[in-house]
Amino acid sequence: MDKKPEKLVPEVRFKGFADDWEQRKLGEFYSFKNGLNKGKEYFGHGVPIVNYTDVYHHRSLELKDLKGKVELTSNEVKNNSAKTGDLFFTRTSETIDEIGFPAILLSASNDTVFSGFLIRVRPIGGDPLDLLFKKYVFYTKTFRQEMMRKSTITTRALTSGKNLSSMIMKFPDKIKEQNSIGNLLTKLDNLITLQQRKLEQLTQLKKALQQKLFSNSFQEKPLLRILHGDNSWWNSYIGEVFTERVDKGSSEKLLSVSITDGVYPFDESKRKNNSSNDKHNYKKVFQNDIAYNSMRLWQGALGVSNYEGIVSPAYTVLKPLANQNSIFYEFMFKNIDMLHIFQRNSQGLTSDTWNLKFNQLQHIKIKTTNLNSQNKIAKLLIKIEELKNDESNYYHNLMTLKKYLLQKLFI
């Protein structure tokens, strides 16, 4: 008995659509052309041009997105035109996994052209694909795998119009279904873009607050003051609010310190454990201590510990004295002005060897305030950080959803 052929359909589908999808070669519907090459003296003025970076970083482009300009003759404009509905692929890259990134041109002027590092894909007759559907179908996992398989690599990865013409695209025959898919993913992309902007704004807000809530060496008081209570500030030294913890340990939980994650258990990292089996010289860390990488403090590699454990002898551990809020100082020390001070005070001939131990750190001047104000400033900055983390988690959930839809809505 003959085996019934499998239906050519995606796993997830809009209601009302049941027909098999088409499976055709690009060369049946499209022509392929490389763009223009001109000397650098022709760029910076003239007509709009679709550049390699435009296509590499975006899946769709509009005229307002094109920042490049090039001076051309009318014949060059005609021979290298870029029109609404044209699809572009990057034709070269350093690595095979970045070859052939696509972008659809959603709007263009009559004199828009495209770069020689791109391949233009233009319908020969009627285009079988909806514009928004075309925006995504060539960035699916299946098509990307075929792109990498059929491209060549010597010193650089390379694809061509000939390669593209033999590649397979899978699409529903009904434009309405294509449009439904394209519209859904476009709305999701718009939401992702808004979420990115929100994250950028929160990042900028946090940086601004860190600069304005702390005094620098040119200010007697911070630019932004916490209301209610004593707001007095005074000169001090780091050695007057912290002492160095020199307790040694060997069997406690191994901790690490990074710029992005602060202090965390080493077994939660993906790094290989290169620490010595003999840890008798490792330093103890207690909750509310600040541990920092002595060679990377100037880059912000520090954090308040929520754990008890040990760190490498290459790290320095700061023990807060009475009536001091360690989190307040963590935010202070990660302020860009303080990082510059740490950099200037680090010792070593090159940035690879710069080092700032406690015997130099303790003599660095700071401006500080009472515990009540420290607590309020720390609480405000923690709230901003928590909000940023929540919004970051939402952003990653949106990206996970997009990845799922790109896998399930297409074949």
**DSSP for 290-314, written as a single string:** EEEETTTGGGT-EEE-SS-EEE-TT
Q: Do domains 22-171 and 233-368 have the same CATH topology?
A: yes
Q: According to CATH, what is the number of the domain 1-20+174-231+370-411?
A: 1.10.287.1120
CATH class of segment(s) 22-171: alpha beta
H helices within 120-174, ranges in order?
131-137, 141-150, 161-165
User: Could you tell me how many residues make up the chain?
Assistant: 411
Hey, where are the domains in the chain?
Answer: 1-20+174-231+370-411, 22-171, 233-368
Question: What's the whole-model pTM score?
Answer: 0.82
What is the token pair recorded at 11?
A: 């796993």
Say if residues 292 and 341 touch (Cβ distance below 8 Å): no
Plot region of 48 (φ>0 → left; ψ -120 to 50 → alpha; else → beta): beta
- How do residues 165-210 score in pLDDT, each as one tens digit? 999 999 999 999 999 999 999 999 999 999 999 999 999 999 999 8
- How do residues 72-120 score in pLDDT, each as one tens digit? 999 999 999 999 999 999 999 999 999 999 999 999 999 999 999 999 9
- How do residues 312-366 score in pLDDT, each as one tens digit? 999 999 999 999 999 999 999 999 999 999 999 999 988 888 999 999 999 999 9
H helices within 282-370, ranges in order?
326-333, 336-345, 358-361
CATH architecture classification, 233-368: Alpha-Beta Complex (3.90)
- Pairing of β 113-114 and β 43-50: parallel
Q: Largest alpha-carbon pair distance within the chain?
A: 91
